[in-house]
Amino acid sequence: MESLASILAINLGTACVLMAIVWMVSVRIEDASIVDIVWGAAGALLAITSFIMANGDPSRKLLVASMTVLWGTRLAVHIGARRWGKGEDFRYAAMRANRPETFPRRSLLTVFLLQAFLIWTVSLPAQVAQVPPVPRGLTALDLAGLLVWVVGFGFESVSDRQLRRFLADPKNEGKVMDKGLWRYSRHPNYFGDSLIWWGLFLVAAATPGGWITVFSPILMTFLLMKVSGVPMLERALAERREGYREYMERTNSFFPWPPR
């Protein structure tokens, strides 16, 4: 079995190779959006490779790998179905419009390899938790992590399904989704995704030294709240969807809470 350092190094290389292959496909089809589909799949892959290489407690390995693979598979299928036939996402289209002749080369570093490093960093709890052989069996902290993960997975999957049904109804064209979980948060799916990584961190924290991976859920929550999640999406929605600014005034951005 491999050491923790070896597993992390191999996984980083695996993520980079995967994203480089996806980049080559994106250049051919002129659509960088496929990186979003592969994001979840890459996290699941790193959990699987860790499961194969690590010599940790079998029950914890199975728990962590299952949690990560289920999250990554659902997310990849969801984004793939949502993006199918829609063309390039507006975020990448805007990047391409700025010096389109150099975008293919630039996107390798600024999109695909950056995403490889980020998914490797964010999924560190899923990698680290599988290495230590102690404690034997699952602890109260493992079960707490599973509970947080279940709540997060529920928020993410249910809110995604609610939004998908809302958008599929022609009567809702141009309207703001403020029903179900979206009544209490403008981004309940992002909130759920952050909880998933906090849950995985708690499982990692049950192992010796696993607490050091706390920067993983902190980073993911920060990205969702302040960088690539909420701000970027809301700028576009506020400009092109009537009533969205009023929705912003009465509904919490991230953490669910009764509307004002």
CA angle centred on 232, ends 230 and 238, rounded to 5°: 85
Domain boundaries, given as residue ranges, for the chain: 1-133, 138-260
Phi and psi torsions of 181, nearest 5°: -65, -20
Q: Say how far apart CA 118 and CA 116 lie, in whole Å.
A: 5
Q: How far apart are CA 29 and CA 48, in angstroms?
A: 29
Q: How far apart are CA 67 and CA 60, in angstroms?
A: 11
The pLDDT tens digits for 201-221 are 999 999 999 999 999 999 999
Six token digits for residue 168 = 């599929």
- pTM of whole model > 0.85? yes
User: What tens digit of pLDDT does each residue of 135-153 get?
Assistant: 999 999 999 999 999 999 9
Cα(15)–Cα(3) distance, integer angstroms: 18
